[in-house]
Structure 1
Amino acid sequence: MKSIYALALAALLAGCGQGSSDGEKKLVIGATMLSMQNEFVVSVADEMEAKAKAAGIELIVVDAERSALKQVEQVESFIAQGVDAIIVNPCEVEASSPAVQAALNAKIPVINVNSETTVKPTSFVGSDDVESARIAMRYLAEKLGGKGNVLMMHGFMGQAAQIKRDKGAREILKANPGLKLLAEQSGEWDRAKAMSLTENWIQSYGSQIHAIFAQNDEMGMGAVKALEAAGLKDKVIVVSVDAIPDALQAVKKGTLNATVFQNAREQGNKAIETAVAAIQKKPFEKEVLIPFQLVTKENVGTFLK
């Protein structure tokens, strides 16, 4: 029922956007987001909405609820509605590719934001996820003096960020033979699942654990909670990626050792800018890469609002 209602509402919104009081056609952009349960994704969507509103653009945001199949259906619905551009925050590299292909086939500009697909969109706006993991793992290597046991918590397997953060982490592990990957498993970008996974790891490895690299902050926060409950937080270094508000507060408090700042606002902003440029056939970058930055207790103040 929910998806039928959402599509009906989207159709209504699209209809509303077909004209403005001065007779000029209002631009309509459809956006399908990986999951509106994910704080980082919500931040990107919020910025896109603010940017669109300021520019007088009708933006229809729908939640793919982590389903690539649903994402393909949502894009097909946007195509049927005749939107001017589509922004895709892909659920999966392969399984979300038909959504991008469908938009391209319909001659509608498609912008991938934050995550990638095998099918190349009109433009990609995001950050180099390989680099985020390199930054995080270099920090761990330095803190451990190049020696120790590391656990790696993956995001959803098969998603671009998971694949690339895995690649970056392995590069640093290879460059530091004293670091041993003790175990790795998916926490599915989820705080509660990550907490449960960390509890299992504590039972299996206990004091052998020296550090945890969580591929996003939601999982990093879950790991911290489990370590605190077990009285191990002071003995284990935890670093994650995104610099969501919760994680920044945890870095300030010293419970999370570090996070890697990914600029959600800039990604949302540039996604709308690029979509508009593509609609209006103005020059735009095929790839907009926004740099990551390491956040520790020393510099966290500059990232806190």
Structure 2
Amino acid sequence: MIKNSFKRRSNAHPLAHMALRSAAAALMAVLCVAVQAAPAKVPGIYFGIGTESSEYWAATVVGAKAVASSVNARLQVMTSEFQGQKFLQDYGAIFAAGCKDCVAILDPVSSAFTKAIVDRATAADAKVITIWNRPDNIHPYDMDSGNWVAHIAFDGVESGYKNGMALCKAIGGKGGVVAIEGVADNPSTKQRFAGLKKALAECPGMKLLDRQYADWDQTKAQVLTRGWLARYSGNLKAVFSENDSMAIGAVAALKERGLAGKVAVSGSDGSVAALNLIKSGDMVSTMWIDGVMQGAFATALGYGAASGDIDLQKLSHAQRDVYLKQTLVTKDNVDEILNRKVDPADYTYEKVKARMWEGVASQIPASAFK
């Protein structure tokens, strides 16, 4: 998620690296014994992520590679390092060189870059799927050309609300809370805080003491939390963080004061590191998003549209502008998520296409990104 402006950062956890390496090895094994793959029907798939060091983004790549390999399609992973201008230039060069019927899948980093990238893809007659960031007033189905296949995100309001209510429960419905936000003027940042405000309204004993941006960054969140602990002392009962990386930074600051597990902390993304902090009692909750499925879903939809196997004219608005399902994780279900195994054989194009819409929660509502 982020991210931007939207920085989906998390310090990679050793268990996360082990899981992803295992998934990659399993993928190679599947490819060696699989039946003959179908010939490539698209010139290439260009999968744009925030950074390779993020556990979340690494998971999306596992899903994307599994689908692409199953149809013998060439997939190139590109990184923005959270610089929207970089993607605008990199994808612009690919489109300018000739990219008819290729597929571009990317987080534009900021909604400010979405339309420019879509316009360049359309001019090149490429297919494009955007993730996380789009302006509120444009949608894939607005484009007559059909080049903008879909936009894919997760419901930040739901994430903020459910994490906020988990904090309310953890502190007995009473006490001060601080909010560590992502990046200003970013859809997920705004949505997750809106969800927290909804929780505050339903939990009137939980009072917001302060809110500050930390740019999805663990170190910045740790510094912020240190300052809050000094300022609010015993009045600080909970820390609401808009992603796991910042939540981990908050926990680190609490550990410095011997307060880990005594001040409730929530996050979002469902990183292995955060899940283990929930298991140990140092965090209360996180919203787990299935990065592998997100990457596989986007790649399968993009490949299907570019190859002609999926007819966009037959898809509803709700199938082209979607929130995917997500799961609130607490101590009650953390083991289930931690023990989840990823088998790349389950993410071939045909298998993902067959269950594609099962992972969709809803159409993105109007004004969601304001």
The question of a shared fold, defined as TM-score above 0.5 by the shorter chain, is answered with yes
Q: Which amino acid aligns with 2:320?
A: K
CA drift of 1:235 comes to 2.4
Q: Secondary structure at 1:140's aligned position in 2?
A: helix
Is the counterpart of residue 117 in structure 1 residue 151 in structure 2? no
Correspondence for 2:25: none
Q: TM-score, normalised by structure 1?
A: 0.86
- The count of aligned residue pairs is 284
Does structure 2 retain, via aligned residues, the 8 Å contact 1:88–1:100?
Answer: no
Q: TM-score, normalised by structure 2?
A: 0.72
Q: Which amino acid aligns with 2:84?
A: A
Alignment of 1:160-239 (within 5 A): 160-239=187-266
64-73 or 138-147, which moves further after superposition? Answer: 138-147
RMSD over equivalenced CA pairs, Å: 2.1
CA drift of 1:41 comes to 1.9
Alpha-carbon separation, structure 2, partners of 1:146 and 1:22: 57
Q: Which amino acid aligns with 2:125?
A: K
Structure 1 unaligned regions, length at least 5 = 1-20
Alignment of 1:1-305 (within 5 A): 26-83=42-99, 84-113=102-131, 115-118=132-135, 119-121=138-140, 122-281=149-308, 282-283=310-311, 284=315, 285-305=319-339
1:181-212 Cα distance to aligned partner (Å, 9 max, x none)? 11111121111221111112112212111101
Structure 2 unaligned regions, length at least 5 = 1-36, 141-148, 340-370
74-83 or 125-134, which moves further after superposition? Answer: 74-83
Alpha-carbon separation, structure 1, partners of 2:41 and 2:292: 27
Alpha-carbon separation, structure 2, partners of 1:24 and 1:267: 22
Alpha-carbon separation, structure 2, partners of 1:41 and 1:158: 22
49-58 or 96-105, which moves further after superposition? Answer: 96-105
Seen in structure 2, the aligned counterparts of structure 1 residues 23 and 217 have a Cα distance that, compared at 3 Å, is closer
Alpha-carbon separation, structure 2, partners of 1:104 and 1:203: 53
Does structure 1 retain, via aligned residues, the 8 Å contact 2:55–2:271?
Answer: yes
Alpha-carbon separation, structure 1, partners of 2:67 and 2:103: 15
Does structure 1 retain, via aligned residues, the 8 Å contact 2:214–2:221?
Answer: yes
Alpha-carbon separation, structure 2, partners of 1:49 and 1:81: 24
Q: Secondary structure at 1:94's aligned position in 2?
A: helix
Does structure 2 retain, via aligned residues, the 8 Å contact 1:71–1:96?
Answer: no
Does structure 1 retain, via aligned residues, the 8 Å contact 2:38–2:71?
Answer: no
Q: Secondary structure at 1:242's aligned position in 2?
A: coil
